[in-house]
Every structure is written in C-alpha cells, then in structure tokens.
A and B are shown apart, each in its own frame.
Chain A
Amino acid sequence: MRTLGPGSVSSLLKSVLDVVYIGLMVVAGAIALAGLAALLFRLDPAVFKGVAIEGASGEVLTRPEVLAGLFAAIGLYLTGVLVILNRLRKVFVTLTAGDPFHPDNVARLRLVGALLAGLEIMRYLVWVGSLALVPGIDRTGPSISLSGWFSILVVFVLAEVFREGARLRREAELTI
C-alpha cells in the first residue's frame, strides 16, 4: 500500500480533509450568522426553547451578551479548527505530490501545533469563564488531556523532523 504520491493513502486522507473542511466551513458560516443576529437584533432567547436550560444557568445563558460571548467562543474554536484543517490539507497536497519535505510544511506543522495548544488552553479558559458567569455550573474542572498534550508535542517534534528533511532535501538539490 502506497502512502505517498497520487492514488495513495495520503491522497485519500486529503480528500477526507477536503470534505471535513468544507462541511465545517458551512457550520462556521451558520454560527457566524447566528452570532451576528444575536448581536444586531438582540435575539429573543425564546427562539431557543428547544434547548432551554432550567434554573440559574438558564437565566444567565439567555442574556444577549452571554449568548454573543458563547457564539464568539464557538466561532473562535471553529476558526482554529478550520485553520488547522486548512494547513493539514496543504501538507497533504505536498504528500500527494510525493514531496513530503517541502520547506513550507515546517511552518504549517508548527502552526498546527501552536493552534492545537491554543485550543486546549482555550478549553480551560472557557471553563474558568463559565465558573464566573454561571453560578450553578458543575465545578469539576476540565480534565487535562495527557494524550492531547502528548499529540501536540508530537506535532512540534514532527515539524522539526520536517525541518531537518527540508534541509537535507536542499542539500541534495545543491549537490551537483
């Protein structure tokens, strides 16, 4: 089974990433519109009857500024995921072309690692923010995902591996 080049596993994964990316773009667009509507028209919380939350938490969540903040957080999170997917798609384009050590892949992987770390930190910050805003929320903190942080470190190490690969590729190109 070929892992690089046209018609390989990389090519298949690139197609999967394309589909997920486009799907998420549509979802992000819908959320952006909903957030905008919440801000511009002070969206009536009654619209969300289907997802009504009882008690103090429900009252807080129906406040327009909290709703807008919620949409902003979701939007920020989705933007991060979209950028990650976009960079991964570009990495997989080079893999499909059979050129894994393209110099641009180093910066792409570093950005993916940084964004993954940022999203993980954002998860903790959202939890802290929800503690302040929603009095009755479950106070058990977000679990620190060891596998998540391990994956983030692996991405950074991979970026360095690609940097070394790109350097060797350049050396090979300039060896006559």
Chain B
Amino acid sequence: MAIRVDLDKRLYDRRMSLTELADRVGVTIANLSILKTGKARAIRFSTLEALCRELDCQPGELLVFVPGPLNEEVD
C-alpha cells in the first residue's frame, strides 16, 4: 500500500521507543510495524486517535503517501 504511517520522526522528537508507544496506544509492536511498513489495509479511528494523542500531532502529520503498487488482494 502506498500509505505509510510515519512514526520514526515523531518517536525521535519525543525520545520515545516503539515499545513504549505500543504500550501507551494499546497496540502490539508487530501491528505498529505493519503500520510503519505500509502493509496495513486500514487503520481504526481509535488507533489513529491514540497515536495522535500520544505523539501530540494531527493525523495528516502521521500519514504519508508513497507512490508504489497497491497490496495484492487476498485470494
């Protein structure tokens, strides 16, 4: 998928580890990695809200469009 959740810069700015963010947001590290690598199919508003709250940012600052092929459909 061409949409990625850009967490690295926000985490660096806040001096926060991925593990800590996972704990605060209530999402597993594996799922955060799926978000980071653009493998996720969708993101819940509740997850996005928690991320924005913990990283003190707007959704538009987290979501990044990267040109590329779409993920293949599951058959």
Quick check: is B75 within 8 A (CB to CB) of the other chain?
yes
Quick check: is A170 within 8 A (CB to CB) of the other chain?
yes
Q: Hey, which chain B residues are within 8 Å of A93, CB to CB? A: none
Q: Hey, which chain B residues are within 8 Å of A143, CB to CB? A: none
Quick check: is A176 within 8 A (CB to CB) of the other chain?
yes
Q: Which of A158-176 contact B (CB under 8 A)?
A: 163, 166-167, 170-171, 174-176
Q: How many residues of B contact A (CB 8 A)?
A: 15
Is B42 a contact of A103 with CB atoms below 8 Å? no
For B30, give the chain A residue with the smallest CB separation: A176
For A168, give the chain B residue with the smallest CB separation: B74
Is A175 a contact of B74 with CB atoms below 8 Å? no
Q: Hey, which chain A residues are within 8 Å of B27, CB to CB? A: 176
Is A176 a contact of B74 with CB atoms below 8 Å? no
- Tell me the A residues contacting B by CB distance below 8 Å: 103, 163, 166-167, 170-171, 174-176
- Tell me the B residues contacting A by CB distance below 8 Å: 27, 31-32, 34-35, 39-44, 47, 73-75
